[in-house]
Amino acid sequence: MVDDNSKFKEGLVIEDVESMTRQGAAPKDTKTKLGSMSIDQFLKENGSIDDEEENIENGRTKKKRTRGPTQFLAIHGRSMQDRPEVVLDADGEPIGPTNKIVTDLSYFLGTIVRNSTFCPLIYTSFKALLKDKDNKAHIWAYVLEKYNISDKGEKDVFTRINDAWRCYKSFIKKKHFSKYSTLKDRLKHRPLFLSEAHFKQLLKYWNTSTIQRTKKEVGKKVTQAEMFITTRQRRERRKRKELDEETHNAIVDDNK
């Protein structure tokens, strides 16, 4: 059973969007041919692993209702009249008018990422989520309800949400999928902020042979690339050594 402290930490993972986006914590995209789409569409096109799927519908678990992490209720309950203005720099990045407003905005965006109404994880990429114009408009409209931000800041806001979404999805996979080997255990430890229906879709998606194969292929490519770099470095060191020896011999010959 997951204790309350672990659940609290799970929620805090996404709250610090500022550190995720500024320190490069978001996982890097891998160049695959999976395409950007809903996971439901992906599963229809690619199928899923039978031995997991045959039991997934019967793996219902009961989740104990517990107190979640801070949700910035004051911000979510803010009226249009109480919205603070956000000052942007030349690139559209929030810089003021105070550090608190900038920091609170970042944490607020983190709570949006955890909200499946705005940012469900049932897409192969955040780009796929935004393909539905209604999704993007819905998120941006809600941000504008709580903060007075000019349209110039829209790109930066979605960049932060994108990075946080990817981090959160990666965290969910690491802590609630990869950590356990059976479907029963995975369902038992379903993440606090993810519905059972959405989590089951993710389990099927992560279990598909296509995803497993892509993971192996990416690993193989990385290994080959590392081997190439290592070989290249050895050749360059050997070449430098040979040149140094030739230079040394030339100097010795000149001084004879």
Q: Please state the pTM of the whole predicted model.
A: 0.64
| 159 Cβ contact partners less than 8 Å away, ≥ 6 residues apart | 21
User: What is the model's pLDDT at position 72?
Assistant: 76
User: What is the model's pLDDT at position 1?
Assistant: 47
Task: Report residues of the chain scoring pLDDT below 50.
Answer: 1-2, 4-19, 21-24, 29-32, 49-59, 61, 63-69, 243, 247-248, 250-252, 255
CA 73 vs CA 7, 55, 152: distances in Å: 18, 39, 26
